């Protein structure tokens, strides 16, 4: 149970956040920042994003309960949202949109780019927050599973920090073609996971 849940959670969050896929947006935002400063900004953004997602995992279900939203309904709506993100990844719409948002944000928030747009929404965006809520709901308040989810969030955030640290090298190695192929493959995987969330939510609601 713990191993299956951990593997599913890790794959889901890794695909949704897509550390390699957000490297071009990161480089676009920090293009005029010295390399030494860029590394600090990337690490700080990953830390902030991990705290946001961890907080979502801990209090997300409580918040849904206060709002009167059932978990099956959120699984269905969240699955649909993740499928839209997967659709954008396959058609290469998402990276272009993120790059435009990042470029606009850097002009407006030069001093706060670690928070916006890097931590939010490039790392802890709507898709990552939705996925975290869905995964937290599957823990059934089991402390071991919840602890595993928090650990996985930290691992994914670390992957983002490493991707930012070696952003220039990654961009050079992948190139335009490699990044496009990787994004499409991850998009297909995410689409399948999104459909599974919808199926699980439908079974719980109508089964």
Kindly state whether residue 10 falls inside one of the protein's structural domains.
Answer: no
| 98-155 pLDDT tens trace | 555 555 555 444 457 888 778 987 899 878 998 999 899 888 889 999 999 999 999 9
Kindly state whether residue 72 falls inside one of the protein's structural domains.
Answer: yes
Token pair of 157, please?
């955030």
Token pair of 68, please?
């009167």
Q: Which whole-number Å values give the CA distances from 41 to 56, 101, 112, 114, 128, in the listed order?
A: 23, 18, 9, 5, 20
- Looking at residue 108, its pLDDT comes to 46
User: What gap in Å lies between CA 1 and CA 142, rounded to an integer?
Assistant: 11
The structure's pTM equals 0.77
Kindly state whether residue 1 falls inside one of the protein's structural domains.
Answer: no
- Looking at residue 110, its pLDDT comes to 44
Kindly state whether residue 187 falls inside one of the protein's structural domains.
Answer: yes
Nearest CA among 171, 200, 197, 186 for reference residue 86: 186
User: What gap in Å lies between CA 23 and CA 171, rounded to an integer?
Assistant: 7
Kindly state whether residue 74 falls inside one of the protein's structural domains.
Answer: yes
Per-residue pLDDT of the chain (207 residues; tens, 9 = 90+): 899 999 999 999 999 898 988 888 788 777 767 777 788 889 999 999 999 999 999 998 788 788 888 878 878 888 888 788 778 777 766 555 555 555 555 544 445 788 877 898 789 987 899 899 989 988 888 999 999 999 999 999 999 999 999 988 888 887 777 777 777 887 788 788 888 888 988 998 886
Range of the domain at 157: 30-206
The beta-carbon contacts of 92-100 under 8 Å, at least 24 apart in sequence, are 92/180, 92/183, 92/184, 94/21, 94/183, 95/21, 95/22, 95/24, 95/25, 95/179, 95/183, 98/22, 98/25, 98/122, 99/24, 99/25, 99/28
Nearest CA among 116, 86, 159, 147 for reference residue 25: 116
Token pair of 183, please?
């994004």
Kindly state whether residue 52 falls inside one of the protein's structural domains.
Answer: yes
Kindly state whether residue 13 falls inside one of the protein's structural domains.
Answer: no
Token pair of 114, please?
């670690």
Kindly state whether residue 120 falls inside one of the protein's structural domains.
Answer: yes
The total domain count for the chain is: 1
């Amino acid at each position: 149970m713990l191993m299956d849940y951990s593997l599913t959670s890790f794959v889901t969050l890794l695909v949704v956040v897509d550390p390699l896929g957000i490297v071009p947006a990161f480089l676009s935002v920090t293009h005029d920042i010295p390399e030494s400063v860029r590394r600090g900004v990337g690490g700080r953004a990953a830390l902030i994003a991990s705290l946001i997602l961890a907080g979502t995992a801990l209090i997300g279900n409580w918040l849904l309960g206060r709002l009167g939203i059932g978990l099956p309904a959120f699984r269905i709506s969240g699955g649909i949202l993740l499928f839209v993100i997967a659709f954008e990844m396959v058609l290469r719409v998402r990276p272009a949109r993120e790059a435009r948002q990042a470029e606009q944000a850097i002009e407006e928030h030069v001093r706060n780019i670690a928070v916006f747009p890097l931590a939010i929404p490039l790392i802890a965006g709507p898709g990552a927050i939705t996925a975290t809520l869905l995964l937290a709901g599957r823990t059934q308040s089991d402390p071991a599973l919840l602890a595993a989810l928090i650990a996985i969030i930290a691992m994914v955030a670390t992957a983002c920090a490493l991707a930012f640290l070696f952003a220039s090298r990654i961009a050079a190695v992948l190139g335009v073609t490699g990044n496009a192929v990787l994004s499409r493959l991850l998009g297909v995987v995410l689409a399948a996971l999104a459909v599974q969330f919808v199926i699980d939510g439908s079974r719980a609601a109508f089964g």
